[in-house]
Structure 1
């Protein structure tokens, strides 16, 4: 059994508190970049979770709470209560969840520390983001939110070309329906990138509490497969709001299977002497040619039946 209470670093020096509080302020300032509109500010804002993750993964969950509280207070002062709620719910929440689960551990009889599996951490993140997707999808159905969003996107296109607006109007109407799924995917990927980046920085300076897990150890629990089957049925047979919510939740859930597929790629890469080079080339191609994510997603979904991890592990 893994302990419910994660490992907490309680011995702090006078030099640690400026780090904890300063990183919270830095996170708030970086998040402010989203509202600036300038590409450089937005690039910085993409990594606004890194300071918070670095606090949690170096000093523990309790000290992350102090840093996050200060960060939320700064966002509240700089941007107002709406931005603070968005920041807390969509960015601080996942940061706290991942840190809490990542620091759970179990000590065996031989005093060997076993850390909570990375696949289950991603499953928790997926469940959290699925909940947010349900919330956003439900919000689209309230009042005239759907029509307002469609009009906003249409006006945005009209600023560039009025003919394009009329041409893509049917596409916009369909795109708005699945925007929660797109946002969920963005949030999922962004959170994991920030967490991995923060952990790598801490490991480089030997400040990390937990050793960095490898993708070869990644394995999802069974509930995502049961969920995708149920959601597929609801999306196919459901109507109206049920169909809309099911489709968006299904899109959010697929991110976990993409990670399962990437774990297979990492295991396959071990057969090459230049493993890191192979992975760099693969990830570059996947970013440039987005369609490469599709076969990775498919093998991730069917991994329990294909058993590719075990097969590639024997090569």
Structure 2
């Protein structure tokens, strides 16, 4: 009987974990879709530029600037994700994750700006992206925070 009680406790723990993950899966899927779209668009633009078929010149990532409403939108989405309950919290968690993507891009713009100051810019960026891929989520959070700091402190203007 004790064995069955232990298994029931394990099943309850697994069910709770599945419910927790189910709340964040839509946000993860949305973020993944947006990032894959951005990466594919950047690769397509690079191929078009190299092949002489680009309709427009490439925009360097280091020159990316976010509109002023992005910061307050992320703050509202994050606050709603933290304080809301039920379906609103479910929606707000996905929205907050999605609204963090522009700040990830802005953080990457800061990294590209810093890399422009280095003699081996390409090597530095390749190393950074390799580390970003290997340490995925912890470093992504750091880059998002860097993008948030850039939004308020204008690091690239100060470094220019």
Deviation at residue 244 of structure 1 after TM alignment: 1.3
TM-score with structure 2 length normalisation?
0.87
**Matched pairs, number:** 151
TM-score with structure 1 length normalisation?
0.46
Q: Secondary structure at the match of 2:40?
A: helix
Counterpart CA distance in 2 for 1:286 and 1:174 is 26
Counterpart CA distance in 2 for 1:218 and 1:197 is 17
Give the greater-gyration-radius structure (CA): 1
Asked if 1:298 corresponds to 2:127, the answer is no
Asked if 1:201 corresponds to 2:47, the answer is yes
Deviation at residue 235 of structure 1 after TM alignment: 2.1
Structure with more helix by fraction: 2
Match of 1:273 in 2: 119
Q: RMSD over aligned Cα, in angstroms?
A: 1.8
Deviation at residue 169 of structure 1 after TM alignment: 2.9
Q: Secondary structure at the match of 1:211?
A: coil
Deviation at residue 168 of structure 1 after TM alignment: 3.4
- Unaligned 5+ residue runs, structure 1? 1-161
- Unaligned 5+ residue runs, structure 2? 1-6
Deviation at residue 197 of structure 1 after TM alignment: 1.0
Q: Secondary structure at the match of 2:53?
A: coil
Counterpart CA distance in 2 for 1:173 and 1:189 is 25
Alignment of 1:96-107 (within 5 A): none
Higher relative contact order (CA 8 A, sep 6+): 2
Deviation at residue 212 of structure 1 after TM alignment: 0.8
Asked if 1:175 corresponds to 2:18, the answer is no
Match of 2:157 in 1: 310
